[in-house]
Structure 1
Amino acid sequence: MRDHSEVLDRIRRGLLYTESEASFQDPLRRADLVFEYNATPPGDGERRRALLERILGSVGARTVLLSPFHAGFGSNVHIGDDFFGNVNLTFVDDVEIRIGDGVMIAPSVTLTTTGHPIHPGLREDFRRFSEPIVIEDKVWIGSNVVVLPGVRIGYGSVIGAGSVVSRDVPPMSVALGVPARVVRQITDADLRPPGR
């Protein structure tokens, strides 16, 4: 059995590694289980929950994850309590994605922990780097958002639809755009219902 500690160390440090070097991790991929989950009727909550527990690294109580969803591994995704993930949520989870409690994610969002070098000479054998993503409690992510490697989205924040999040977002902030920028803080004035 080969010692893969050097490759794992590079992965943990966000340094470049190749598909071939990381292939020893393939048994951690849950592609068949993800396929089975996506083919399971929405009304079969018990079966869907059992599959999620086998797919994800950890999953909290009262989790809703609508089909279809996609995951590179699945086993590197950790979801807290009271999570709602809408259709077409994609986890590119070569390293950990940690999602807190009370998080809502709208349709067609991509959370990608992995990127590739700019220069084509460095992209042979799908060379890449990976950095974890953290989404803290009570975050709401709008439709068609992309969250890039190494990003932390702080407690209670809102990410506007169509945004590309390339840097950390502080707690209780509204961020939007390409690239996403903080446009304002969330305050008690936001406790008023919309339209009033």
Structure 2
Amino acid sequence: MTEKEKQQAGELYNANDRELFNERIKAKKLCAEYNAVECNDFQKRERILDRLVALRGENTVIEPNFFCDYGYNIVIGDNFYANHNLVILDCADIEFGNNVFIGPNCGFYAAEHPIEANLRNQGLEYAKPIKVGSNVWIGGGVTVIGGVTIGDNVVIGAGSVVTKDIPSNCVAVGNPCAPTKTLEPAAAAEAAAEKPAEKKPEPAEKKPAPEEKPKSRRIEIRRID
């Protein structure tokens, strides 16, 4: 197996391999070009992203600076927004669903290093994939470690370190990050928002009271002699 094949299989591989090294250089050059684009030249940004990432949906916004290792392991859904200083170490597949919002200074690190110093010092490492579901908001300064899956309809609190899977429909915070609150499923919330409010029955229209006929008054006329 080549070092790249070992990498994709989740096995220990040599990160200093020439093929991998050249692919990282290519990605770094594209990142540098992306970060140097004028802030209002959105079309040029999109052209660079199309050359850099494996697949992206509609409405992708990544504020510079943005850095990644390879790019070809990154898959992005529709309506993706990432604030400044996003770092994606995509030694393995890193996938984002639809409607994902990421705060500034966040990192997604598929790269892992051996605990044994002698292996680490040889430049050996391994990589684990990361998957982020749809309708996810990740606060500023969050770190997501390799091998983690974040479910749908999740909010990750700022500064959290995500080391284990996070289930769908929750707020999760802390180091290590853990659920603290359950959320209503996004589909149910959207359906409730789209459902027209039930109209309260209007009160029955009051009929005007019939007009009372004036009572006839009898006038007595007396003759005075």
TM-score tier (shorter): 0.7 to 0.9
Contact 1:19-1:125 at 8 Å conserved across structures: no
2:49 maps to 1:52: yes
Identify which of structures 1 and 2 has the higher relative contact order when contacts are C-alpha pairs closer than 8 Å and 6+ apart: 1
Question: Of 14, 23, 28, which aligns to 1:18?
Answer: 14
8 A contact 2:132–2:150 mirrored in 1? yes
Instruction: Measure the CA separation in 1 of the matches of 2:122 and 2:21.
Output: 15
Q: How does 1:1-196 map to 2 (within 5 A)?
A: 4=2, 7-20=3-16, 22-29=17-24, 30-187=27-184
Partners of 1:50 and 1:170 in 2: how far apart?
Answer: 35
Deviation string, structure 1 residues 12-56 (Cα, Å, up to 9, x no partner): 342322223x43234433111110000001100111110111111
RMSD over aligned Cα atoms: 1.6
State the distance in 2 between where 1:23 and 1:172 align.
43
Q: Specify every segment of 5 or more residues in structure 1 that has no aligned partner in the other structure, as ranges.
A: 192-196
**What does residue 221 of structure 2 align with?**
none
Cα deviation for residue 85 of structure 1 reads: 0.5
What letter corresponds to residue 58 of structure 1 in structure 2?
L
- Secondary structure at the aligned position of 1:24 is classed as helix
TM-score by structure 1 length? 0.88
Residue 170 of structure 1 deviates from its aligned partner by 0.5
Aligned length: 184
Percent identity over paired residues: 34
Structure 2 length-normalised TM: 0.77
Q: Tell me the amino acid that sits aligned with residue 23 of structure 2.
A: L
Amino acid in the other structure paired with 1:55: L
Distance of 1:47 and 1:125 partners within structure 2: 39
Instruction: Give 3-state SS (helix, strand or coil) of 2:181's partner.
Output: strand
Task: Report the Cα distance in structure 2 between the residues aligned to 1:64 and 1:10, rounded to whole angstroms.
Answer: 32
Contact 1:89/1:110 (CA < 8 Å) preserved in 2?
A: yes
**Could you list the runs of 5+ residues in structure 2 that have no partner in the other structure?**
190-225
**Residues of 1 paired with 2:183 and 2:22: CA distance?**
43
Q: Tell me, in whole angstroms, the C-alpha distance in 1 between the residues paired with 2:118 and 2:20.
A: 25
* Structure-2 change in CA distance of 1:46 and 1:9 (3 Å): closer
Max Rg structure: 2
**Counterparts of 1:74 and 1:158, CA distance in 2:** 25
Runs of 4+ in 1 over 2 A off after TM superposition: 7-15, 25-29
